[in-house]
Amino acid sequence: MIVDSCIDRQTRMPVAKAYLTRLGVALDAVKLVVVTHWHDDHMRGAAEIVREAGAARFACSAALRSEEFATLLACGAESMTSSMTSSSGIDEFRKILDALRQRRARGVPAANAGPDHWATHGQVLYERPARDGVSQARVLSLSPSAATVTRALRELGQLLPQEGEPKRRIRQGANQVSVALWIDAGYQRALLGSDLPAGTGPSGGWSAVLSSSTRPAQRARILKVPHHGSQSADEPAIWTEMLEAEPWAVVTPFASGRTPLPTEADLKRLIKRTPNAYCTGRPQGWSPVRRQPAVERTLREVARSRRTILGPVGHVRLRYSLEAADPTVELFGGALKVSA
Ligand SMILES: [Zn+2]
């Protein structure tokens, strides 16, 4: 399965496609593609993957925000131009909808063609029973919660003009509607946290996952740390209720924001929880190239700090035998182990 996508800025290729190609795995072998939410750092190149992974089912969040809803309505209309799209996330969503419409083979009329799964909590996105000596595998969505979907529908309702009614605005951030995933494969379990936030009230985010009656009772040994290790997505209870002790935790840094993530404090919090924490790149980005002294001087006058966001695309590979205890960890590109 492929969850989310990003582009290698040097080769312009989706990194998951490049990776599978290097392993000699054709995209036809992919069973499931998930875009957890429509933020730029999670979906670039996803349409290319959907187009080429012809046998894969496609899942995204059932909680559509208004721009996404408008895109869904306009899909296939000739009048739809790129000027309607306000961000590259929405543009990628449109390209994916187009790609899904091209898949005639599934016997769905083009007008109704769309994602195979509008994911909410407790949905099975993929399941393969154990057979021929091969273990069972299952992928479950843990979010968005029903209340988050309700809020999204209310937000869509506000698009309809109401006479004499002041415009009330509900606006959920993309992170709030994002799809967290649970993977069972053999004896191994992984929790992929997407960018799902914590502390947004009992009916959404991680609180809703924790209180959900459909959440798996077992514990996972692998965690994709939610939202780039940020404090805003840190829910201590997932460590005590959903994860084994000292799980393997992988953080994906986000270097191009105003505050690069994870921060020093985020990393400190993480290594208190597990000695097995890894980061796919340098948390604070890479040092910029040094220029001539006069240029450096001027740059220092105008910028308080600088960092380059074009570092190598690193990755952390955890490989398990489906029956074995610990994974082997391999680090590529700028990936590193987080240590005190
Ligand atoms: Zn993100």
Predicted confidence (pLDDT) per residue in 36-71, tens digit = 999 888 999 999 999 999 899 999 999 998 888 888
pLDDT of residue 213: 92
Residues 235, 207 contacting (CB under 8 angstroms): yes
- If one counts every other C-beta atom within 10 angstroms of the C-beta of residue 180, the result is 25
Reported as a pLDDT band with limits 50, 70 and 90, residue 286 is: low
* Cα(195) to centroid(ligand 1), Å: 5
* Cα(256) to centroid(ligand 1), Å: 11
Residues 109, 165 contacting (CB under 8 angstroms): no
Q: Which residue has the higher pLDDT, 72 or 169?
A: 72
212-215, long-range: CB < 8 A, 24+ apart:
212/121, 212/122, 212/142, 212/145, 214/121, 214/122, 215/121, 215/122, 215/142, 215/182, 215/242
* Cα(291) to centroid(ligand 1), Å: 31
* Cα(43) to centroid(ligand 1), Å: 10
> In terms of DSSP bridges, do strands 2-3 and 57-61 run parallel, antiparallel, or are they unpaired?
unpaired
* Cα(227) to centroid(ligand 1), Å: 5
* Cα(108) to centroid(ligand 1), Å: 32
* Cα(233) to centroid(ligand 1), Å: 11
pLDDT of residue 168: 66
* 196 vs 226: CA distance, rounded Å: 6
Exposed, middle or buried: residue 106 (CB in 10 Å: 0-12, 13-18, 19+)? exposed
What is residue 98's three-state secondary structure?
Answer: helix
Q: Which span out of 11-15, 120-124, 286-290 was modeled with the highest average pLDDT? A: 120-124
* 295 vs 292: CA distance, rounded Å: 5
Longest dimension (CA), the chain: 69
pLDDT of residue 221: 94
Predicted confidence (pLDDT) per residue in 84-121, tens digit = 555 678 889 999 998 998 876 566 777 778 899 999 99
